[in-house]
């Protein structure tokens, strides 16, 4: 039963990366949909809109990256597995 830590690490990495994909993806889709609608209403503001959108997407993306980093740390830099 000594490999329970490894099992929990694998399961935890899976859970982290799954949660890190569900909600950020939903939020990015919502933001992009709103941007499409906004550009259709004000095509001349497209530059400002897409610049603001990309900064926002980058900030949402960081959260998915946090989850991925933690998952990789659990697998390859786990301090508790010998």
Burial class (CB in 10 A: 0-12, 13-18, 19+), 71: buried
Report whether 42 contacts 49 (CB < 8 A): yes
* Shortest Å, Cβ 52 to a copy of itself: 5
In the block, tokens 């933690």 appear at: 70
* Shortest Å, Cβ 75 to a copy of itself: 6
* Shortest Å, Cβ 6 to a copy of itself: 4
């Amino acid at each position: 039963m000594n490999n329970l830590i490894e099992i929990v690490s694998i399961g935890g990495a899976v859970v982290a990366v799954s949660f890190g994909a569900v909600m950020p993806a939903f939020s990015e889709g919502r933001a992009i949909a709103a941007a499409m609608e906004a550009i259709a209403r004000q095509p001349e503001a497209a530059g400002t809109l897409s610049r603001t959108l990309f900064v926002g997407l980058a900030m949402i993306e960081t959260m998915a990256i946090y989850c991925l980093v933690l998952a990789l740390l659990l697998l390859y830099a786990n301090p508790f597995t010998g």
